[in-house]
Homo-oligomer: A and B are copies of this chain.
Amino acid sequence: MAEEKKNATIYDVAAAVGVSLATVSRVVNGSENVRPATRDKVRAAIEELGYRPNAVARGLASKKTTTVGVVMPDMTNLFYSELTRGIDDVANMYQYDVLLTNTDDDPKRAVTAIRNLADKQIDGLIYMGSQLSKQVQEAMKMADVPVVLAGSVDQKGILPSVNIDYQAAFEEVTNRFLSEGQERIALVVGSADRPIDVDYRRAGYALALEKVGRDVDESLTFSGPRSYEDGQALAAQIHASGARAAIIYDDEVALGVLNGLQDAGVKVPDDFEIVSANNTTFTMVARPELSSIDQPKYDIGAVAMRLLTKLMDQDSLNQKQVILPHTMVNRASTKSAKRN
C-alpha cells in the first residue's frame, strides 16, 4: 500500500498534505510548534509515501551528520574490536553511525584517515592509536570536532580519554611476582618508544623494582612483538635471558610466549609464570589458562563514546581523563592461583 518508486522528498510530503516544507521538517524533527491535526496528517503522508529524510541533505543544511569517526589500529585484534564494540553500541544508542578506519597503528595512515573523516564532516572522533604524534594532533585540530581517546593516552592531558591505570596495573603484577620471590621478571611491551609502553607499563614495572631497591635489568625487557607468532619466536629469547616470570602487554603475544615455552619443555607455572594484560578470550583458551590484568574493554569504548556524545552536545565533562578500574584475574599460568 505504501510502495513508491522514486524516493519521496520532503517536498512531496508537503505537497501531498498541502503544507509547506517547513512544517514537514518540523514534524520530522519533533518540533512542538505544530498543531496536532497537522502533525497527524503529515505523519500519515510520510507513512503513505514511505518518506525518509535524506541524511546527506540534512547534514549539509544542519552541519551535523550524526556520524562519528573511529580510528583504530586493527580490528582483527580482539582488544580493539571489543573496545569498538562498546563504541558502536553506544553510538547506535545515541543514533550515531560509525565510520571506521584501520591504520595498523601507523601514524601516517592515521593522519590520512582523520583528514578524510573530517572531509566527511563527522561530528566527533574516537581515536585508539597507541601514539599521538604531532601530525595526528594537528590533523585533529584541523578536523575541528570533539575527540576522545579510548585505550590511548594524551600525556599532556589535553584530550579527553578513557583508560585504565596502566602503570598501577603493571606495578601490581610486578609486585606480586616480587612478593612471591621471583628474582628475574621479564617485561614485554609493544614498543620501545611509545608513551603507553615506556611511561606507563614499563614505568610501573620499574617502580615496583625500585621500591625493593632494584634496577631494571635491560636484558629482561623486550619490545616489539605484536602477534602470536612473534610471541612464539620470543619465547626462546625470554627463556635464554634467565627470566622465570613475565608480564606481557598483549594476550596473543602472551599466548605465543606461553606455548613457545611449553613446546620447549618449560613447565608453566612451575618453572615460569606469565601474566597477560588484556584478558581477552585468548587468555581462557590457553592451557594452562593465562592469568591476566582485566581491562573493562567494552566499557572503555562505551564510556569513550558516551563522553563524545556529551562533547558533541556541547555539554561539559565532569572528568576529562577517565580511569576505569582494572582487576587481576588469577588463572593457572601463575602459581598463586594454585594456592587459593
Contacts and interface: CB of A to CB of B under 8 A. Distances in A.
Interface of A: 7, 50, 52-57, 59-60, 65, 67, 74-76, 78, 81-82, 84-85, 88-89, 92, 97-102, 115-121, 142, 144, 228, 252, 255-256, 259, 262, 281-282, 284-287
A67 B120 contact: yes
A116 B101 contact: no
Contacts of A99: 67, 97-100
Contact of A76 (B52, B82, B118): B82
11 contacts: A52-B115, A54-B60, A55-B120, A56-B59, A76-B85, A88-B102, A100-B100, A228-B285, A259-B285, A282-B282, A285-B285
A84 B142 CA distance: 29
B121 A55 contact: yes
Contacts of A78: 76, 78
Contacts of A102: 85, 88-89
Contact of A118 (B52, B59, B98, B116): B52
Contacts of A85: 74-76, 102
Contacts of A284: 228
A93 to B, nearest CB: 13
